[in-house]
């Protein structure tokens, strides 16, 4: 369902029976093919293996609000970083595209030699975040390094995709916020996983300007059905912040930059 709504909210930005039908056929076909390959190869298609999430009480409505604010501010920081890096990357435009690819590749390898957490899809890092095994200062370092590398690669024309990095950025910012709240004694550790799910959904919803997709994605992938209303509150808090600040979605900004070049 999240794939269908992503096509409606982000790609086409309008609802028509034909778009819904074609998106549904594509998603259902992909799901059955992935399931068949999963059974044949013995590989699980589930994105993340999470423990049962604690259900937030109605008196904890302030938690998704804080997570949404954190996600919104983190998104604004990334978009500001994009503008700053774009000024430096304009010098690379004169270089051949092949040389730019080689440069980004070498830079990625060198950074990856420092820590595997700085490279790759970020799936393993998100798994570690859910277990709480990454200390707070490493969360900041990973966020900063991956932010610079992802945006720099995108600006240089060597885009490797933005959806998976966005999930990671959401998890990193959510973990920092959750650790601060738990350390203050305002809430117990048992709610940590639920807070991360809310934070990821809030970050996705505001980054791509796809709030409905973000809510459905969190419920489908992370099993956040029991906290669905809190996820909605977190997503729309973050979305409201980005709308109030006047920022476009990250996809629109990247496409505008590429079309300008």
Q: Read off the pLDDT of residues 71-109 as tens digits, 9 standing for 90 and up.
A: 999 999 998 888 777 777 666 666 777 887 888 888 888
| Secondary structure (3-state) at 52 | coil
The residue-averaged pLDDT of 183-198 equals: 92
* pLDDT digit string, tens, across residues 25-64: 888 888 888 888 888 887 776 667 777 788 898 899 999 9
Pair (198, 71) in one structural domain? yes
Residue 261 clears pLDDT 60, i.e. is over it: no
Angle at 230 between CA 183 and CA 164, to 5 degrees: 80
Q: How far apart are CA 252 and CA 10, in angstroms?
A: 9
Cα–Cα distances in Å, from 144 out to 39, 151, 247?
A: 38, 11, 20
Residues 37 and 52 in one domain: no
Q: Which residue has the higher pLDDT, 260 or 141?
A: 141
* Residues in Cβ contact with 164 at an 8 Å cutoff, skipping those fewer than 6 apart: 121, 122, 123
Dihedral sign from CA coordinates of 9, 232, 123, 113 = positive
Contact 14, 219 (CB under 8 A): no
pLDDT number for residue 43: 76
Residues 171 and 238 in one domain: yes
Model confidence at 2, pLDDT cuts 50, 70, 90, reads confident
* 60 and 116 part of one domain: yes
Domain of 201?
A: 48-260
What pLDDT does residue 254 have? 74
Q: How far apart are CA 127 and CA 86, in angstroms?
A: 31
pTM of the full structure: 0.88
Tokens standing for residue 79: 């978009």
Confidence of residue 6 (pLDDT cuts 50, 70, 90): confident
Q: Is residue 88 located within the same domain as residue 203? A: yes
Residue count (the chain): 261
Q: What CA–CA distance (Å, rounded) separates 110 from 64? A: 38
- State whether 57 and 180 are in the same domain: yes
Asked if 179 and 239 sit in the same domain, the reply is yes
Q: What's the mean per-residue pLDDT of the chain?
A: 85
Same domain as 137, residue 101: yes
Number of independent structural domains in the chain: 2
Residues 34 and 128 in one domain: no
CA torsion through residues 225, 227, 229, 232, sign: negative
Tell me the H-state helices in the chain: 2-6, 17-41, 62-89, 97-114, 123-131, 136-155, 163-183, 192-207, 211-222, 228-245, 250-260
Distance, in Å, from the CA atom of 180 to the CA atom of 172, rounded to the nearest integer, reads 13
Token pair, residue 172, equals 């990193």
Domain match, 38 and 54 both: no
């Amino acid at each position: 369902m999240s794939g269908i709504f992503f096509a409606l909210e982000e790609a086409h930005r309008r609802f028509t029976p034909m778009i819904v039908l074609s998106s549904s056929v594509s998603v259902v076909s992909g799901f059955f093919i992935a399931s068949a390959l999963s059974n044949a190869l013995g590989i699980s298609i589930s994105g993340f293996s999470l423990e049962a999430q604690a259900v937030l009480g109605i008196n904890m409505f302030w938690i998704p609000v804080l997570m949404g604010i954190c996600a919104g501010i983190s998104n604004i920081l990334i978009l500001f970083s994009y503008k700053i890096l774009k000024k430096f990357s304009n010098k690379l435009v004169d270089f051949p595209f092949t040389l730019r690819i080689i440069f980004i590749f070498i830079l990625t390898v060198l950074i990856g030699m420092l820590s595997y957490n700085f490279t790759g899809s970020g799936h393993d890092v998100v798994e570690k975040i859910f277990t709480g095994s990454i200390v707070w200062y490493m969360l900041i370092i990973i966020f900063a390094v991956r932010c610079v590398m992802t945006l720099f690669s995108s600006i240089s024309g060597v885009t490797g995709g933005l959806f998976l990095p966005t999930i990671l950025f959401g998890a990193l910012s959510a973990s920092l916020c959750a650790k601060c709240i738990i350390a203050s004694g305002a809430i117990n550790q048992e709610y940590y996983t639920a807070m991360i799910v809310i934070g990821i959904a809030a970050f996705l919803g505001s980054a791509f300007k796809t709030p409905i997709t973000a809510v459905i994605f969190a419920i489908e992938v992370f099993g956040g059905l029991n906290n669905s209303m809190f996820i909605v509150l977190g997503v729309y808090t973050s979305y409201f912040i980005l709308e109030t600040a006047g920022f476009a979605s990250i996809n629109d900004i990247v496409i505008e930059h590429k079309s300008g070049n």
